[in-house]
Structures are given as C-alpha cells and as structure tokens.
Amino acid sequence: MRVKIFPGRTSEGEVTIPASKSLSHRVLISAALAEGTSVLHHVADNQDTEATLRCLKALGAGSEKAADGLHITGIRDWSSYEGSVLDCGESGSTLRFLIPLAAMTGKVVTFTGHGKLMQRPQSVYEELFREKGLLFEKKDEFLRVQGPVPGGEYVLKGDVSSQFITGLLFTLPLAEKDSVIRIIPPYESRSYVLLTEQILKGSGITIHDEGLEIRIPGNQRYRPSERTVEGDDSQAAFFEALGVISGKPVCIHGINLESMQGDHAMLDILRKMGGSLKEMDGLVIAEPSVLHGTVIDLENCPDLGPVLFAAATQAEGVTKFIHAGRLRIKESDRIDAMEEELTKLGAVMHSEEDSAEISGKTKISGGVVLNGHNDHRIVMALAVLACNADSPVTIEGAEAVSKSYPDFFKDLKKAGAKVEQL
C-alpha cells in the first residue's frame, strides 16, 4: 500500500489511542496460563496480538468473543499439544515470550514466522536451553524446542532484549523447583520487565524483584482474572510528536497518566526538548512548541527511537541519541532506515553502532517517495514528519502499520492531516 501525506494539517486534532500492544500480549498469555476463564477488555487488535492468540490456542487455550469481553480459557493439560506449528507472524514478542512456555509441553514444538522474524537473534535462549540439556534447533525458517524448562539459576546479560527475561518470568513459576534470574549489568529496558511483573502479580504469581536478582518460587498456579488493557503509550507518542512539531494542537485520549509502560517517557523527553504537553484526566494535549536539541537515552524506551528521530529534525541544534543499538535488530535496522529516509527529506543524521545525531532545524522537502522498510514504526514516524513537508510525500509499504496499529491513518486524518491512499 502507498499513501500520500499532504503538507500541513487542516484542523486541531483529537484521537483515542488503541490498547497497549505490550500489555495485550502479557494479559493474553497470563490468561492462557490460568486455571479457569479470564475476561479481558480493550485488548489490542493487530497482527502481533493475533499471532500471540493464535499460538496460545495451538497450545490448548480457548478463546471466545462475548458481549462482556474476550473470554480466555486456560491451558488445562500441556501434554495435550498435538504438534501444530506455532506461526508467530512477524511478532518478536510472541516468539520470545512463548519459546520457554511452549517447551513446558515436554514435546518437540516448532515455531515459524515471517518477514525478518526468524533472523532475529535468539542466542540467549539457545545458550540457556543447551546449558539445561534441552533441545534448541534452528534450521531455515523454523525453530524447534523441547523441555520442560526446569527451575534453578538463570544468568542473562541485561543489555539484550528484555523479552527473554519476560519469557522466563512467565515460565518459571510453573517449574517444580524455585528459580532465580541473575542479570548482568547494564540492565536495559527494565521497564518492560516491571510491566510483566505487574501482570504476573495480578494473576496471583509471587515474584521477588531485587533489581539484578529476581527470585521466583516454583510450583505456582496462575489464577483467572478480569482486566482492562490501558492505552498504548508507544502509539500515543506519534500524536504527541505531531502536536508539538506541526503547528496545531492534538488532544490524545486513552492515556493512563500513571502508566508503567516504558514509552510513557515520551512525555518527559518532549518536555526536555521544550515541548508543551498538558495532562488532564486521561488525556494529553500536545501543543506547537519551539524544540531544542538535547541528549536522549533510549536504553529503556527503544521503540520511541523512530518518532524521536523525526521530531529531532524540527529541534534547533543537535540532538544526540545514546544506547540506541537495539534499534538495529528490530523489524528493520531502525537507525539505518531512518537515516536513509530522513536524508531524502533533507534532514541531516549521522549514526554509529549505538548512537545517532540529528542536526536541526530542518526544512522538510517533499516531492519524494519514502520506503517504509516493512516496519510499522518507521512508516508512522515518517508519516508524522511528512505533515511538515513543503509538498506531498509518498510512503511505500504503508501497510506495515497493521502490525501494531491498523487504524493509524484513520486516526492521522482525525488529527487533521490530509492522507490519500494510493
């Protein structure tokens, strides 16, 4: 799909953000592990969460949409798994969260995926599985594992994806023995681990988090619950940036102002750059602002990288991004992808392996065709910045937004932008 974004915005905007993708993955998994039926409200509806639900059903969970919410019936018997291939789509969270859990069947479980998913690093699990004498086999576009994953000690580097820690946190309460996860600093993206622990505790699971050491008693049982998923701060970030850089305010509904989501940091980062963002009763108003360059640490919020790169082009002076290396192993190399596309728009960006610098303020030159790099966050970040161009901008591969935010372009129109689907 190709979309054309026209300069400027016709009006002040008002949008309601979708449910948090990160939290939706977590509540679906915790519900599938519970003994009984959970009722979930406001679960994110996108390709990634569909992949998680599809895999959980293959493992034996039940799912039914009802008037009062999504009913998830927990997996009653792990040994009932019949050998279905677990198709994770392009969802890294689905794959990494479910690898150790699927191994609890005690049978050989095969995973597959699409796009670049099966090329993304899984060496953390590979090493852990082999240390425990378990099967971990990667071949072509398939990954095979067999457990069950035992309790005991697990040592992980803190500067790899927190998704590996989350996968173990879901799994180890089911082990017979107690477990401890020891984390070697630096400890990046801890906010996502805390998000997982919040969901686990709401499911009756006991976790003792002492910073670099997480203790998990074994032989626990998940209990069913009723939950409502809060709005997605990583998706709100695009509209917060839009309101700050594009000349008219945007009113963003559905934000939990006390959220533990790591991407809630977008508000403080934009304020640090000089952005005006007002908070009131579940909504944020992002107002046109004069931004200035600063140093932005992406250690705990890497998903904000693309939209902050876009916003930084509209800030006076130099904006430096540090601890950005993990952006290189997402759906695309998000640093290289943004550098390539921002250069087409006339921006100046230079990067190294773990950092990047953007010089502003840039006059955004339209009349160009941009590549979405099959990456939802790249497409959305470029679309936001294109509203500041001096002539229309076309983005190819815009369908990538379906991965996390299928209604993004509808909401961009609600925010006052003129968007044409080609």
Report whether 248 belongs to an annotated binding site. Answer: no
pLDDT digits (tens, 9 = 90+) for 58-89: 999 999 999 989 999 999 998 889 999 999 99
* Res. 416 pLDDT band, cuts 50 70 90: very high
Report whether 334 belongs to an annotated binding site. Answer: yes
Do 361 and 410 fall into the same domain? yes
Domain of residue 148 covers 21-224
Average pLDDT over residues 29-56: 96
The verdict on whether 87 is a catalytic residue reads: no
pLDDT score of 282: 80
Catalytic residue among 232, 233, 263, 303: 303
Report whether 330 belongs to an annotated binding site. Answer: yes
Q: Is the pLDDT of residue 27 over 90?
A: yes
149 vs 187: CA distance, rounded Å? 24
Do 268 and 189 fall into the same domain? no
Report whether 377 belongs to an annotated binding site. Answer: yes
238 vs 137: CA distance, rounded Å? 39
Q: Is the pLDDT of residue 52 over 90?
A: yes
Q: Is the pLDDT of residue 185 over 90?
A: yes
Write the DSSP string, 234-285: HHHHHHHHHHHHSSS-EEEES--TT---GGGGHHHHHHHTT-EEEEETTEEE
Q: Is the pLDDT of residue 301 over 90?
A: yes
Average pLDDT over residues 392-402: 97
Hey, what are 398's tokens? 């815009």
CB atoms within 10 A of CB 129: 21
Report whether 21 belongs to an annotated binding site. Answer: yes
Placement of tokens 């020891």 in the chain: 182
The CA distances from residue 214 to 98, 104, 123, 285, in Å, are 19, 21, 21, 38
Do 207 and 241 fall into the same domain? no
Rounded to the nearest integer, the mean pLDDT of the chain is 95
Contacts of 21 (CB under 8 A, 6+ apart): 44, 46, 48, 49, 93, 232, 234, 235, 404
Q: What is the DSSP letter of 222?
A: B
147 vs 145: CA distance, rounded Å? 7
CB atoms within 10 A of CB 130: 11
* Res. 48 pLDDT band, cuts 50 70 90: very high
Do 342 and 365 fall into the same domain? yes
- CATH code for position 363: 3.65.10.10
The CA distances from residue 347 to 260, 266, 341, 365, 386, in Å, are 33, 22, 9, 9, 12
Q: Is the pLDDT of residue 297 over 90?
A: yes
pLDDT score of 161: 87
Report whether 92 belongs to an annotated binding site. Answer: yes
Q: Is the pLDDT of residue 11 over 90?
A: no
pLDDT score of 348: 97
pTM greater than the 0.85 cutoff: yes
Q: How many domains does the chain have?
A: 2
Do 267 and 365 fall into the same domain? yes
Do 27 and 78 fall into the same domain? yes
* Res. 12 pLDDT band, cuts 50 70 90: confident
Q: Is the pLDDT of residue 347 over 90?
A: yes
Report whether 414 belongs to an annotated binding site. Answer: no
Do 7 and 42 fall into the same domain? no
Placement of tokens 């479910």 in the chain: 98
Average pLDDT over residues 354-380: 97
